[in-house]
Structure 1
Amino acid sequence: MLAGCLAAASLPSALCAQQPWRAAEPDYAWSFPADHWSHPSFRTEWWYLTGIVRDTADSARRFGYQFTFFRVGLSADSLPYRSAWATPGLIMGHASISDLGSGHHVFSEILFRPNGLLGGFGASGDPLIAWSRAPYGTDGRWTLSWNGSAFDVAIRDDAQGIAFAFTTTPAKPLVLQGPDGYSRKGEGPTAASLYYSFTRLRTTGTLTVGGEEIPIVGESWMDKEFGSNQLAPDQVGWDWFSLRLDDGRDVMLYLLRSEDGDSYGRGTVVAPDGTPTYLDRAAWTVTVTRRWRSERTGAEYPSRWRLASPELNLDVDVVPLLAAQENVTALVPGLFYWEGAVEVRARDGSRVGEGYVELTGYGTKARPAI
């Protein structure tokens, strides 16, 4: 949901804006499809897709995937000079594939200044919403485009041996996360973002792992979020859940954790007909029942949860389909987080849904700086 905005933590303070960034406010006037494109008056913005897909020739062969483009603002001011290398911000991309059969998780990334050679963001109506060069050593581009009803995405990283090219179509309409799309992240008036989702996107295309191109079909979840000041000073990270239940409901929940162990949470449940119901923190509980420690970073992450909500008539376990789904970047030192495919199980152990979980701020010096 938010992890890539951590990149701003590593940028010199001299690049910070002199002019204030626009704050997320509850009366934002949404306009679609125009709002699928970028909003440069806000400091951070991301387009995020996750999904679980399967081999069309072997439905038992499943993969989780993540695709995210981030726009990271450096200055809200107009630059005082013209140069192809001058930039008011950065474009960052993260992508991963989890082979749920082999247990292999692969992560790829890009980080460029937007310009005509390296990457950029389209304007409303352009074919591309965002694009970048592929990672160094790989020909081609990473792309996110609007196809008239949803999104097409494509990435390639030859060094990591992964690629995918997916087309999505909505199985449910767009939903605003929070009343009017104003998503509170804390008690302060500016601790918020503007946030919407497509919770069920039919997904087709091809996926490549280990040099093998595999036709796939499955379902995805898409988030779009933008704002300028989401975390309070004492908040250290978040746990975010996107769950598609087999009964047709979709559930989004997040917990923003504070240094003192307290948390701020909100959620949305989307009915089978697409109607959202917004949940405050008292409507649900999440209890960690297992943990996993990364050998690479030393971070210890929650790795199984019990989710209960009498209001939703829900009491389930959320179980990672693979424990080791940590993303560790090389381009932004100190940036790492867990992003993984999960299964939702009833108390008797039977499957009742699937989805993705994101965990940030675990481990030494891992606090998101947004």
Structure 2
Amino acid sequence: MPLAFPAPLAPYAERADRTRGRLVTEPVSDTRTPFQRDRDRIIHCVAFRRLKHKTQVFVFHEGDHYRTRLTHSLEVSQIARSLCRLLKLDEDLGELVALSHDIGHPPFGHTGEDVLEDCMKAHGGFDHNAQTLRVLTKLERRHVAYDGLNLTWESLEGAVKHNGPLTGPIAEERARNKGQVHAKPLPAAIEEYAKTHDLWLTTFPSLEAQVAAIADDIAYNNHDTDDGLRAGLFTFEEALDVPLIGEALHAARTQYRDAPQGLQIAEAVSFLIGRMVRDVWDETRRRLEEAKPGCADDVRHAPHAMVAFSEALEPDIAQLRGFLYERMYRHWKVNRARSQAKRIVRALFDLFMAEPEVLPPEWFARQEGKDEDGRARVVCDYLAGMTDRYAIEEHRKLFDMERWFA
């Protein structure tokens, strides 16, 4: 029986039966499309499971109900699937890019990333999207024939550049619009991989990958607001004055006046996610109707992203992000956790570089015979793969003298 591919799809959607294929050729599955197979490989890999204990904003031990990288990724994938369905795109590709987008994040969220970026400054740098590529193409070891997961070209392209082109004129123009002189240098891991597998780094990715990127924005803006309210980092009354979420909270309080405040918050977040999804759907259809792309590659070579918020909504989203930055991401309680996290990651990196013999045997073997840059990359890979609690426990084992002398 021939394999049934999703249909009907828009002409500019990716088609799994027209994939550019895998770096290592494999037999075709008779039960799953290539993109379904890629999604399943993401779900079953070790790095995806570790997201359960990696920070979104709160460190794992601060509460059982706050988002982790895993729950965040699942929420992003749900929004991505919904948008792909509305736009008649390949839902499996949108979902797998969403599920994989945070796999390269180290422990302790962006704090861990900032520390590793500083530690690796003289050794090729660190970037979580580049680390995702390393995980997907090298570090995951589940198959005899190759390292990594051997995903399709479209899946790897989406993982690497879902936020847009990394090099070339468009990347330079976007950097200038942000007040930068030039686009960021290409991360070492991506530059290395591009020598053997060209991912078209100067173009936009597929619509499905663009959908996953904006689904990430929708998810964290709403769910970080939800977590911040429930954690008491800011109050219901303070949030009432913030664009978008304030309107949603007002509406929920009016409609459900006698309901507990927690339920009013949940209703407001649900309403706002729906509003943002609708805005993206309307704006993306408008751009597609204007550009009239005939195929997926027309989307890649467009001068701007096709999936976007409307101009009317962007200023409100910017204000909401600014509020979250000031009142949540830089809240003094969060800053304390960030301070501890910085010291843990920095201390572990310095120790493993100075005394590699304390690395676990597998990782010690990987760094043997390498120059300083190579050893630093191995240490970085080891640290980036840690969960919050594993990093904390490793630090305790190596630095807590009371464990030895009590």
TM-score normalized by the length of structure 2: 0.23
Instruction: Compare CA radii of gyration and give the structure with the larger one.
Output: 2
More strand by share: 1
TM-score normalized by the length of structure 1: 0.24
Greater RCO (Cα-Cα under 8 Å, separation 6 or more): 2
More helix by share: 2
